[in-house]
């Protein structure tokens, strides 16, 4: 379905306005030179509404809109657990993790790991995240976005990839996080309005023009199995969403990793004016997450009824977009591109931040000027985008459901990441050696279980590997305590001048352990009320669709 002249005009107007606004908000006051804090953390001045909107804009991209709609097409409403459980996870992050991050005054997650453990852990995880963000996240968003453009407009995949890369870079490369976060307000408004329009039109089409509510009732009666939130073991999709484990198992580990320890997500909260403002933004984002299945899952379920013969599930959302009449299609198309470009900008900016602050300024040029730091950051973002452009189609071109692929792949690493952070937060004896063991064990155990126990659902595998990583980290730490306590072995000389052995540095509470008594974990009454509301709504949704 080709865009009409009116649609093209609306879309071009959106692109021009967004770039103009991004450059306008990125301007500096006369006499002020943009520094690394301005570029990477938006001068630490983001208000709550910008934080909340930017969190959702960074999260909801082609990966969610196209990928999750595709999973909704095949699996049904059960895939919405990723959204609804995320709302609860955000509250946990806001109350327990953000106070620690903001107290430490960090730029990046690897920086925190050095403050808590040592530079080995920082460098190892920095390299890991650079690889994942470039080869998994950026490539997935680029590919699925280009697929949507090709399905909707007939534009060749290559040109779609190039357009998305150039458009996202055109406003994020210069302005940094400030340009991304403040334009995300526009992106989220477009995303919600455009998404609701697609959902309404799909349901109205099902009812034959009798309205969306009637269409929803028909969808319920015709496809009741698509609305089971907790899948039975007899379901062909049980391996992806294994029943009650969705509520008490590995999904918590996946969500904690994504929302609590993921650079391109947490970077927004790190840029807040203060802790209270960050927590307000987190609560705002939690309510938006409750709304998301209506936008990203329901159209996929509707497509299963309206277009049951699609070649690939990931074509479901673009197929539903074809229901939008000319004149409005340009706005809906802009909403889709808004979600994609926002995530691309966020991910490339996080690659830039990690490479610059954790690799370049730590290992290559420790005395880099602010001006050189910014140029290196921009070059890193551009390089990551070029790499993602090159490998996107070869990596993802043959996949059936890209969303499930992303979850499966990241599931190899997330158990170790969550173990490292949680033990680092709340156990003062955790050592750098135990953190590295957990990181390595996460990959090794995940691969071993996948090969040797293929019937184990991947979400259950994530939960099991997380427990084993924690056990191994504790054993390594306590083993160090026991060995150093016997006096039978002499501690190795420190390699970093810190006065602590790398091998046996567990003689008690670590010198870099976090003093939790010095951190304010109490939250305001408004945050508590908002949190209660999120929990009650989430519980009600599961009771209704159990």
DSSP 272: B
**Rounded to whole angstroms, what are the CA distances from 348 to 381, 387, 421, 533?**
5, 11, 23, 34
Instruction: Give, for all 546 residues of the chain, the pLDDT tens digit.
Output: 567 888 888 888 888 888 888 888 877 766 666 778 888 888 888 999 999 998 988 888 766 787 789 889 999 999 999 899 999 999 999 999 999 999 998 999 999 999 999 999 999 999 999 998 998 889 888 887 887 788 777 888 899 999 999 998 988 888 888 888 888 888 888 888 888 999 999 999 999 999 999 999 999 999 998 998 888 888 888 887 888 888 888 899 999 999 999 998 899 899 999 999 999 999 999 999 999 999 999 999 999 999 998 888 878 888 898 898 887 888 888 877 887 888 898 899 999 999 999 999 999 999 988 889 999 999 999 999 999 999 888 777 665 555 566 777 788 999 999 999 999 999 999 999 999 999 999 999 999 999 999 989 888 999 999 999 999 999 999 987 666 654 333 344 444 444 444 444 444 788 899 988 888 899 999 999 999 999 999 999 999 887
* Separation of alpha carbons 24 and 14, rounded Å: 15
φ/ψ of residue 545, rounded to 5: -105, 20
Torsion of CA 263, 264, 267, 272, to 10 degrees: -150
Dist. CA 338–CA 340, nearest whole Å: 5
Q: Which residues pair with 46 in a beta bridge?
A: 272
Helices (H), 26-108: 36-41, 48-59, 62-74, 81-92, 98-104
**71 contacts 83 by C-beta, under 8 angstroms:** no
Q: What is the CATH number of domain 5-20+42-396+405-410+515-545?
A: 1.20.1730.10
In the chain, where are the structural domains located? 5-20+42-396+405-410+515-545
């Amino acid at each position: 379905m080709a865009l009409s002249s009116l649609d093209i005009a609306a879309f071009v107007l959106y692109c021009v306005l967004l770039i103009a606004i991004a450059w306008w908000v990125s301007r500096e006051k006369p006499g002020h030179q943009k520094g690394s804090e301005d570029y990477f953390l938006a001068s630490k001045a983001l208000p709550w509404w910008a934080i909340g909107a930017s969190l959702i804009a960074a999260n909801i991209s082609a990966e969610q809109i196209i990928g999750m709609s595709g999973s909704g097409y095949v699996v049904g409403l059960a895939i919405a657990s990723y959204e609804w459980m995320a709302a609860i996870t955000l509250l946990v992050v806001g109350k327990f993790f953000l106070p620690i991050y903001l107290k430490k005054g960090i730029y990046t997650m690897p920086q925190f790991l050095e403050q808590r453990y040592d530079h080995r852990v920082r460098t190892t995880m920095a390299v890991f995240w650079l690889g994942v963000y470039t080869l998994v996240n950026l490539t997935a968003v680029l590919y699925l976005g280009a697929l949507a453009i090709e399905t909707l407009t007939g534009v060749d995949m290559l040109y779609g990839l190039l357009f998305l890369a150039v458009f996202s870079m055109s406003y994020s490369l210069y302005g940094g996080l400030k340009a991304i976060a403040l334009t995300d307000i526009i992106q989220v408004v477009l995303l919600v309005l455009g998404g609701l329009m697609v959902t309404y039109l799909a349901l109205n089409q099902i009812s034959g023009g009798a309205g969306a509510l009637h269409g929803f009732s028909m969808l319920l009666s015709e496809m009741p199995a698509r609305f089971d939130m907790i899948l039975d073991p007899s379901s062909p999709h049980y391996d992806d969403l294994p029943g009650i484990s969705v509520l008490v198992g590995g999904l918590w580990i996946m969500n904690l990793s994504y929302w609590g320890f993921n650079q391109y997500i947490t970077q927004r909260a790190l840029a807040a004016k203060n802790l209270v403002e960050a927590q307000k933004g987190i609560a705002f984002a939690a309510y938006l997450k409750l709304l998301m299945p209506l936008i990203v899952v329901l159209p996929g379920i509707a497509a299963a009824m309206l277009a049951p013969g699609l070649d690939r599930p990931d074509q479901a959302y673009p197929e539903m977009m074809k229901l939008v009449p000319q004149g409005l299609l340009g706005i809906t198309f802009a909403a889709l591109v808004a979600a994609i470009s926002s995530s691309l900008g966020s991910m490339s900016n996080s690659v830039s931040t990690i490479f610059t602050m954790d690799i370049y300024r730590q290992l290559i040029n420790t005395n880099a000027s602010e001006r050189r730091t910014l140029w290196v950051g921009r070059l890193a973002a551009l390089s990551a985008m070029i790499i993602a452009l090159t490998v996107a189609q070869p990596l993802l071109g043959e996949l059936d459901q890209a969303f499930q692929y992303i979850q499966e792949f990241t599931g190899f690493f997330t158990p170790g990441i969550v173990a490292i952070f949680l033990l680092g937060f709340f156990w003062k004896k955790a050592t750098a050696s135990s953190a590295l063991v957990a990181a390595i064990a996460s990959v090794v155990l995940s691969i071993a279980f996948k090969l040797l126990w293929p019937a184990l659902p991947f979400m259950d595998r994530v939960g099991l590997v997380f427990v084993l990583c924690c056990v191994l980290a504790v054993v390594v730490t306590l083993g160090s305590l026991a060995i150093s306590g016997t006096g039978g072995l002499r501690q190795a000389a420190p390699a970093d001048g810190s006065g602590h052995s790398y091998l046996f540095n567990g003689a008690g509470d670590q010198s870099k352990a976090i003093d939790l008594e010095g951190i304010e974990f109490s939250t305001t009454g408004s945050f508590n009320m908002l949190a209660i509301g999120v929990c009650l709504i989430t519980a009600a949704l599961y009771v209704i669709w159990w």
